[in-house]
């Protein structure tokens, strides 16, 4: 009974009945267009395809599942300045909570312009814009309400006495971001960015009232990489994110082992590291970069107040990024963020 009530409490807390919270990834660095639209086009190659999958809270309830798929590339390479990059991209996101009680889908179009700040284009400043069309639907038959709990626990035969007037909602949602990326010395780089999502704070409610607004989300993030022990590298990143009363602070690093043994443009790398989400979870990370593919795997070790129910188990997450590089390679020569 206690476990059932805990599951119910978690679901009612997370479901957007009053103030919704966006899905998030432990590998925030591997989901560029949900982090900052100014990342669009910032990579060394012809085009990039990225996918993310996250399954959370399987240890205590039906898992919460989130997935994304995105593609971006640069345009007008022979028209704009050699030091500049103009990127465009598209992304789709799927999020399912409560065993399908709430399903969210959205598709977003992003664009960003990276302006070179020096003659070589080693330092750039980008402004990114994103427009998303969001659709959410709720299945009341998969919800549990207080009126359906008796002395024996949850009883689906009892009436809920609740009625949702808008089981499906949709709206347009604009987002914006800014990003600096720069070369330090000959082989290191740093980046720093900020993003602001839900600029118009669209109305989002399943009830008859029309007074619930989706809270804006802002993020400050940064990171960098530098060579160590020959051709190996350390990649570090951090973010602070806030939406309504919820906030998240995450930081960590990964050590990249160069398995090729040579300083080539596209080496085979093995990554081992960890990130920490403050007061929430430790996220061990393992990754492999080979032939244009970069695959990363994390598992959340829950250390929050929910650990007695979760037994320290949070969620599994996998990311896959493919960057196509032609023989001519990208005109963007500056080291680009990977973590």
Which comes out higher in pLDDT, residue 176 or 145? 176
State phi, psi for 52 to the nearest 5 degrees: -135, 145
| pTM (two decimals) | 0.85
Domain covering 45-151+170-324: architecture: Beta Barrel (2.40)
Tell me which of 11-25, 83-97, 117-131, 138-152 is least confident.
11-25
How confident is the model over 179-221, as pLDDT tens digits?
999 999 888 999 999 999 999 998 887 776 767 788 999 999 9
Q: Using 50, 70 and 90 to split pLDDT, how confident is the model at 327?
A: low
Give residue 306's pLDDT: 55
Pick 318 or 154 by higher pLDDT.
318
Q: What is the pLDDT of residue 168?
A: 87
Q: 44 and 68 in contact (C-beta within 8 Å)?
A: no
Average pLDDT value over all residues in the chain: 84
- If one compares 127 and 333, the residue with the highest pLDDT of the two is 127
What is the per-residue pLDDT for 187? Answer: 87
Report the alpha-carbon distance of residue 213 to residue 323 in Å, rounded.
38
Q: For residue 307, is pLDDT > 50?
A: no
What are phi and psi for residue 140, nearest 5 degrees? -65, -25
Residue 127: pLDDT over 90? yes
The rounded distance, in Å, linking the Cα atoms of 95 and 115 is 34
Q: According to the model, what pLDDT value does residue 336 have?
A: 83
Structure tokens at 213: 């607004």
At 43-94, the pLDDT tens digits run: 988 999 999 999 875 545 567 899 999 999 999 988 999 899 999 999 999 9
Q: Which pLDDT does position 9 carry in this prediction?
A: 40
The C-alpha atoms of residue 106 and residue 90 are separated, in whole angstroms, by 11
Q: What is the mean pLDDT of residues 260-280?
A: 87
pLDDT of residue 290: 93
Confidence of residue 338 (pLDDT cuts 50, 70, 90): confident
Q: Which of 81, 34, 313, 282 is nearest to 177 (CA)?
A: 34
Phi, psi of 115 (to 5 degrees): -95, 125
Three-state DSSP state, 224 = strand
311-321: average pLDDT: 79
Q: Could you tell me what percent of the chain has a pLDDT over 90? A: 55
């Amino acid at each position: 009974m206690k476990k059932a009530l805990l599951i119910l409490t978690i679901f009612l807390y997370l479901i957007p009945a009053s103030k919704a919270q966006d899905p998030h990834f432990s590998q925030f660095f591997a989901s560029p267009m949900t982090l900052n639209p100014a990342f669009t086009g910032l990579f060394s190659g012809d085009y990039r395809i990225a996918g993310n999958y996250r399954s959370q809270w399987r240890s205590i309830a039906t898992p919460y599942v989130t997935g994304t798929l995105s593609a971006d590339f640069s345009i007008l390479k022979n028209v704009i300045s050699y030091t500049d990059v103009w990127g465009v991209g598209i992304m789709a996101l799927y999020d399912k909570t409560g065993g399908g009680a709430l399903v969210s889908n959205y598709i977003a179009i992003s664009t960003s312009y990276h302006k070179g700040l020096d003659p070589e284009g080693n330092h750039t400043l980008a402004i990114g814009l994103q427009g998303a069309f969001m659709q959410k639907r709720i299945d009341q038959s998969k919800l549990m309400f207080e009126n359906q709990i008796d002395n024996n626990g949850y009883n689906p035969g009892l009436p809920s006495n609740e009625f949702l007037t808008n089981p499906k909602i949709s709206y347009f949602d604009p987002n914006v971001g800014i990003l600096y990326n720069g070369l330090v010395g000959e082989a290191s780089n740093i980046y720093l960015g900020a993003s602001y999502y839900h600029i118009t704070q669209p109305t989002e409610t399943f009830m008859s009232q029309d007074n619930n607004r989706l809270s804006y989300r802002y993020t400050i993030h940064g990171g960098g990489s530098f060579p160590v022990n020959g051709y190996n590298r350390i990649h570090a990143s951090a973010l602070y994110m806030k939406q309504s009363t919820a906030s998240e602070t995450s930081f960590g690093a990964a050590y990249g082992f160069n398995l090729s043994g040579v300083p080539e443009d596209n080496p085979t790398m093995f990554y081992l590291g960890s990130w920490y989400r403050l007061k929430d979870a430790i996220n061990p990370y393992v990754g492999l970069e080979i032939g244009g593919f970069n695959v990363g795997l994390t598992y959340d070790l829950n250390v929050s107040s929910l650990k007695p129910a979760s037994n320290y188990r949070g969620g599994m997450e996998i990311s896959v990024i493919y960057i196509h590089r032609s023989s001519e390679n990208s005109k963007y020569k500056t080291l680009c963020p990977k973590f």
